[in-house]
Amino acid sequence: MDHRTTLAERTLAITERITHIGSWEWQLQANTVRWSDELFRIYGFAPQSRPVTPEFFLSRVYPEDRELVQEGVRQALERGGKFHWRERIVRPDGSVRVLDTVGEVLKTEDTTSLLGTCRDVTDEQQRLEQVRRFADICHNIQIGLSVWATAADDDSGPFLLTTYNPVLERIAGLPLAPLVGQPFHAIFPNAAAGAIEALLREVAQSEQTYEVDAALLGSDGLSRHLSCKGFPLPGRSVGLALLDTTQQTRERALQAAEQAVLEQVATGAPLQRALETLIRAVEEHAPPTIGSILLLDSDGLRVRHGAAPGLPRSYQAEIDGSRIGPKAGSCGTAAFLRRAVFVDDIETDPLWDDYRATALAHDLRACWSTPIVSTDQRVLGTFAFYYKTPRKPTREDQALVGRASRLAGIAIERQQMEAVLRNLSAHVQTALENDRTRIAREIHDDLGQSLTALKMDIAWIRRRAAATGATLTEEISEKLASMSSFTDGVIQRVRQISSELRPGVLDDLGLVAAIEWQAQAFEERTGTQCLVRSQDTELTLQRELSTAAFRIFQEALTNVARHAGAHRVDVSIMTRESELFIDIEDDGVGIPAERATNPTSLGLLGIRERAQRLNGDVLVVPTEPHGTRVSLRLPIRPDGTP
């Protein structure tokens, strides 16, 4: 054999082994097949370890690919020339490999042969598939991915966008293809020199991965909350992953606001404050929403302003008191029909014929309204979402409207129930005070006069006996004296009971004198010093107000006597800006903070109920270093009426 031929064959064998490419030849007329050593290895056999036939070759082809190979051979023989296909084979150990087959048909006058090579592309294909999978993930994952490069050696220059995925376009709010190669501050001008750009620079300088939370205002005008992660890449580049957490962040804020509303409702906070808390949470959750709550009047015919911190006051005033009906804007119609009404464009919707000019004058173009319904299916009011551009509600919007309306219903219904209870309590208290006054008067007038007459009769008997010269025995004289003394005691007790039921000084001399009288009686009864200071001794108040203030003062002193163990009580009475303030402070053991707000403390509950009924409030707090202060505030008008 020629030395050059041997060298060429050896070189070819080495080349095949390095490139992992095997060669083969199939002579059709002789039906012989030749495989190179590397092709044996590719198929999982030792080189030249067995004869190869077309049947053996086909048996090693993956069953589902055999028809494809046979069809490839048939077409190659028909057309002649070059051919190419890809098939899977099964090795003796059961592993599957993918081969890329390239060859050519050679024809002479006597013979036809197929010559080809097989390259094992299994690993390459797996890598390509992995790359494609990662590419698909990067393209479809709900994370904005981008790569930023800087040309400055010290990483002080601008970061230029080199590549991105579609999610980043949604976050940016604009197409990014024309902006490839542009600096960060040109693409995100509202975030320039902010947390995200600082993150890019930190990663570029340290070649470490960093994370930060940031807010980003896109070019579409929408603010987004982002969880940002920067990671180093080759070629002085930085990868940036932005996860839009706006919905989750807003949902957490909405849930917190809902909890705050429920707490305000539970603690008896003013209804408007609770409703405004809810509206602001909705506006923050779904910008650019402007929220409004209208309350249905007691007659069920008109809606009244409830809360709308984002609406112009002039607009609120114009719609306050509007009648409900089948064509009464969004809110009036929703209350009338008892169903949600979504108006996409106020300028064209006939429901707004009577209110269109008012709405457009205040730049309001869309309004979605839903009725607020109680547990017994009464319409309590409406919850409206306003917008300054025409807008249709999404499914998420409708869910938010319903969610907010249900929570508003809880707050409104609770307030109405509390109002009913306060009115009932006020009726009971008024009836009780009237009964106390009547009983006190009857005791003082009828029983007191009868006892006085009895005392006068006893005195008459003693005078009569002395005038007639009759001699009374010592026993009778002592009995008459005892009866007179006992009658004096009964008269004194009757007066005391009458004063406790309804002190006459409260009606005759006013609140300050009544408090001073009560303080003196408390001091005499308990031995605890009680000092009263007042800037207005001639304070004249409406009867219901002075009665409530006096009863609250009485209850506060009762609590001091029962629980405080105090040596001194200081009372301050003053008026300021049409409000009455009374402070009762003792130097006792002090009230625990949890007890001051305990709903089972009936005494404190009664104090708060009396104050709230007159639109006032009471604060009960421990003082330093020890003691308790009860602070009462009641509104009064200049004429002295609440």
CATH number of the domain within which 187 lies:
3.30.450.20
Q: Measured between alpha carbons, how far apart are the two ends of the chain, in Å? A: 127
The neighbour count for residue 519, using CB atoms within 10 Å, is 20
Cis peptide leading into 288, omega within 30 of 0?
Answer: yes
Residue 574, pLDDT score: 87
pLDDT category of residue 543 using cuts at 50, 70 and 90: confident
My answer on whether 494 and 530 are in the same domain is no
Judge whether 631 lies within some domain.
yes
My answer on whether 353 and 486 are in the same domain is no
- Partners of 529 in beta bridges: 568
My answer on whether 538 and 469 are in the same domain is no
Q: In the block, which residue shows the tokens 């004063």? A: 499
Give the CATH number of the domain where residue 620 resides. 3.30.565.10
| Listed range (11-20, 278-287, 557-566) with the worst mean pLDDT | 11-20
Query: What is the Cα–Cα distance from 159 to 194, expressed in whole angstroms?
Result: 13
CB 155 within 8 A of CB 246: no
My answer on whether 306 and 181 are in the same domain is no
Query: What is the Cα–Cα distance from 234 to 538, expressed in whole angstroms?
Result: 87
* Last-in-domain residue among 244, 261, 294: 244
Judge whether 642 lies within some domain.
no
Q: pTM of this prediction?
A: 0.52
Judge whether 387 lies within some domain.
yes
Cα 353 vs. chain centroid, distance in angstroms? Answer: 36
Query: What is the Cα–Cα distance from 101 to 39, expressed in whole angstroms?
Result: 11
Judge whether 640 lies within some domain.
no
My answer on whether 197 and 211 are in the same domain is yes
- Partners of 232 in beta bridges: 238
- Total residue count of the chain as it appears in this document: 642
My answer on whether 271 and 396 are in the same domain is yes
Q: In the block, which residue shows the tokens 């030849």? A: 25
* Last-in-domain residue among 244, 269, 285: 244
CA distances from 277 to 180, 272, 440 (A): 44, 9, 48
My answer on whether 341 and 329 are in the same domain is yes
Instruction: Supply 542's token pair.
Output: 């409406």
Contacts of 134-143 with C-beta under 8 Å, sequence gap 24+, read 138/165, 139/165, 139/166, 141/165, 141/167, 142/167, 142/243, 142/244, 143/167, 143/241, 143/242, 143/243
Q: How many domains is the chain built from?
A: 5
Name, in order, each residue with C-beta under 8 angstroms of 585's C-beta and a sequence gap of 6 or more: 569, 570, 571, 572, 623, 627, 628, 629, 630
Residue 488, pLDDT score: 75
Name, in order, each residue with C-beta under 8 angstroms of 56's C-beta and a sequence gap of 6 or more: 33, 50
* Last-in-domain residue among 362, 389, 412: 412
Q: In the block, which residue shows the tokens 């592309």? A: 121
pLDDT category of residue 636 using cuts at 50, 70 and 90: confident
Residue 640, pLDDT score: 42
My answer on whether 551 and 438 are in the same domain is no
Name, in order, each residue with C-beta under 8 angstroms of 536's C-beta and a sequence gap of 6 or more: 512, 573, 574, 575
Judge whether 422 lies within some domain.
yes
Q: Read off the pLDDT of residues 151-196 as tens digits, 9 standing for 90 and up.
A: 666 666 788 999 888 888 888 888 888 899 888 888 888 776 688 8
Q: Domain containing 153: what range?
A: 141-244
Query: What is the Cα–Cα distance from 346 to 333, expressed in whole angstroms?
Result: 13
Instruction: Supply 553's token pair.
Output: 């003062």
My answer on whether 338 and 358 are in the same domain is yes
Three-class SS of residue 311?
A: coil
Q: Is the dihedral of CA 344, 349, 355, 358 positive or negative?
A: positive
My answer on whether 370 and 352 are in the same domain is yes
Three-class SS of residue 223?
A: strand
Query: What is the Cα–Cα distance from 254 to 396, expressed in whole angstroms?
Result: 14
Q: Read off the pLDDT of residues 443-467 as tens digits, 9 standing for 90 and up.
A: 655 666 676 777 777 777 777 777 7
Query: What is the Cα–Cα distance from 107 to 32, expressed in whole angstroms?
Result: 15
